Amino acid sequence: GLGDVYKRQVMNMSEHHSSSVTSNIRVARIVYYAVWLLVALGAALSEAEVLPTGYLAVTAEGLYAIQMVCVALLLVVPWLSLKWFHFTFVRKALMANPVSRGRWNLYRILLMGGFLFFNLGMYYALLSTTTPLFGLLIGLMAYVFCMPKRSE
């Protein structure tokens, strides 16, 4: 009867929703692992001196400014990334469109990825301070907890 048709439609919508969420999460996981790979590759190529290193000459004031930017980003970006799904605007967006979980995971991954690449680049561009290296290492530890999941 009509009730059976309605049940089948609801089940089909549920299956479609579930497969959309799964494929979005799969894409986010691919990007997550790609960031790991690119950071490791960038570090390995810089250590092997395939990529240029120590090319950024700065004054003492410039070095201090870069160090402060690295520390400020370290205080903000990992915290934002780890608390990402607890923010009201993200929760409201997910309640309105649960299929968008993969996209919100991507935003978090890109935020952390930008932070990691910035610190990696600054460390190898300067080679006169370890502040960006410590930021990179702490960021990588936080990034472990940014693995995309179906639910947070």
User: In one letter, which amino acid is 118?
Assistant: F
Among positive and negative, which fits the CA dihedral 68, 122, 41, 113? positive
For residues 5 and 12, the answer to whether their CB atoms sit within 8 Å is: no
Q: How confident is the model at residue 23 (pLDDT cuts 50, 70, 90)?
A: confident
Average pLDDT value over all residues in the chain: 89
Q: Angle formed by the axes of helices 60-82 and 131-143, to 10°? A: 10
Q: Which of the pair, 19 or 29, is modelled with greater confidence? A: 29
Residue 99 is predicted with a pLDDT of 87
Please state the separation of Cα 82 from the chain's center in Å.
10
Q: Does 28 have pLDDT greater than 80? A: yes
Neighbours of 81 (CB within 10 A): 22
pLDDT digits (tens, 9 = 90+) for 64-108: 999 999 999 999 999 999 999 999 999 999 999 988 898 999 999
Q: How many Å apart are CA 125 and CA 132, to the nearest integer?
A: 10
Q: Which residue, 148, 142, 122, is CA-closest to 42?
A: 122
